[in-house]
Amino acid sequence: MIKIYGRQNSSSVQLVMWAVAELGIENERLDYGHGHASTQTDEYLALNPMGRVPVLIDGDVRVFESAAILRYLAAQYGTDDFWPKDPARRAPLDT
Ligand SMILES: N[C@@H](CCC(=O)N[C@@H](CS)C(=O)NCC(=O)O)C(=O)O
């Protein structure tokens, strides 16, 4: 099951939660960030050296930066209509 590190009231985390819901991916969200578990520990900084939320863990795959996470989820779990392989069809969705 994928894990998302980040507090629910973060707009960057909400982007990721929208994507996992839209794609129907089973997930666990962990409360990290302002007012929750610290993002400044050595363990967390090993996940995201920027010390920010969100971070996605999917097996051996670790991704930070919400836009990068969205692209990863779309490419890994989305249909070709959701995230087309054809760059010409995909570009308008990527703006
Ligand atoms: N460009 C980054 C921005 C990440 C970011 O600034 N996240 C904020 C919350 S929206 C954060 O981590 N704030 C510090 C905290 O919550 O401890 C992304 O899109 O992932």
**Residue 21 predicted with pLDDT over 90:** yes
Beta carbons within 10 angstroms of residue 10's beta carbon: 19
| 4 Cβ below 6 A of ligand 1 | no
| 31 Cβ below 6 A of ligand 1 | no
In eight-state DSSP terms, residue 35 is: T
**Predicted structure pTM score:** 0.96
Q: For tokens 């919400």, name the residue.
A: 66
For 85-94, write each residue's pLDDT tens digit: 999 999 999 8
In order of start, what are the domains of the chain with their CATH numbers? 2-89 (3.40.30.10)
CA-closest residue to ligand 1 atom 9? 10
For 26-69, write each residue's pLDDT tens digit: 999 999 999 999 999 999 999 999 999 999 999 999 999 999 99
